[in-house]
Amino acid sequence: MAGADKKQLSSILDHDNPKEVFNETKKIFTYNYSPESFSIVEHVYGIVSSLYKGSFPGYRGCNTEYHNFIHVNHVLLATARIVDGLHIYEGAFDETQAVNLLVASLLHDIGYLQETNDIEGTGAKYTTTHVYRGMAFTKKNSETLKLLPEDLPKITSLIECTCITPDPIDKLTGEDLLCGAIIATADIIGQMSDRRYLEKLLFLYYEFVEAGIGGYNTAFDILKKTHLFYQTTKDRLNGKLCSFYDLAKYHFKMRFDIDENLYIVAIERQMDYLQKIIDDTNGNFRNKLYRIDIKDKN
């Protein structure tokens, strides 16, 4: 594995392959904890997989192209890497908290899914309420998910931490703030480091349209405004989220002998390429987004 290739997330594994992501997450977990403790994560993973496929009773499969099962896997793995980095940097981190973080990462976007009798539109219409719908789903199905009563409030609180407005992080302190900042950070870097992130922004635009979220008149608008969003996001990552994204670099150094935070490397590359697309006003921006077939989107 040479030079430049080694400095890419895709050089480690196929992040769009759920099986590879699951196996890598389990491997990372067992660096620091007992394999038996991972059983609840594995159980919840199976249920979440069936939900997104549409094989869980009472629910339709996922029909949002940005907030899909691949995104869930990206957040799951980013959470595991941050927790591993925390172990390497500071020492032991509570096992129950680690399990709850992984479970919450699997459930954090479950609120986008529709029940079987909800046949109008797609789950994108729940963009502004999906976090609280996900919390309600988790409480309602806690027995099926095999969540312990004492862990349920922690898990739903962690799901809430992936919301931005209002920002639940503001009301947290101590270990609750630590865990909340980890999952919120994983949600951000998991999606923005996706090698197909720029293409998926166009899918996000159509989700916003269905949800009635204003501020974007065309699909190109969301590309132009993503640079501003990234600046705001960096302020949040470095501020109230305590720069916990930086913990991932200790994971990459220890486990792969790569002395860089590959998440930040990937995100910065995305932003550099995005700027080139925005600056090229004479070209068709869709021709420069080639990792997903988006020709059918208008």
Q: Which two tokens stand for residue 58?
A: 């009472």
Residues 158 and 232 sit within 8 Å (Cβ to Cβ): no
Per-residue pLDDT tens listing for the chain (298 residues): 334 456 789 999 999 999 999 999 999 999 999 999 999 999 999 999 999 999 999 999 999 999 999 999 999 999 999 999 999 999 889 999 999 999 999 999 999 999 999 999 999 999 999 999 999 999 999 999 999 999 999 999 999 999 988 899 999 999 999 999 999 999 999 999 999 999 999 999 999 999 999 999 888 899 999 988 999 999 999 999 999 999 999 999 999 999 999 999 999 999 999 998 888 766 577 666 755 554 444 4
Closest CA to 221 of 277, 268, 142: 277
CATH domain 3-288 topology: Catalytic domain of cyclic nucleotide phosphodiesterase 4b2b (1.10.1300)
User: pTM for the full model?
Assistant: 0.94
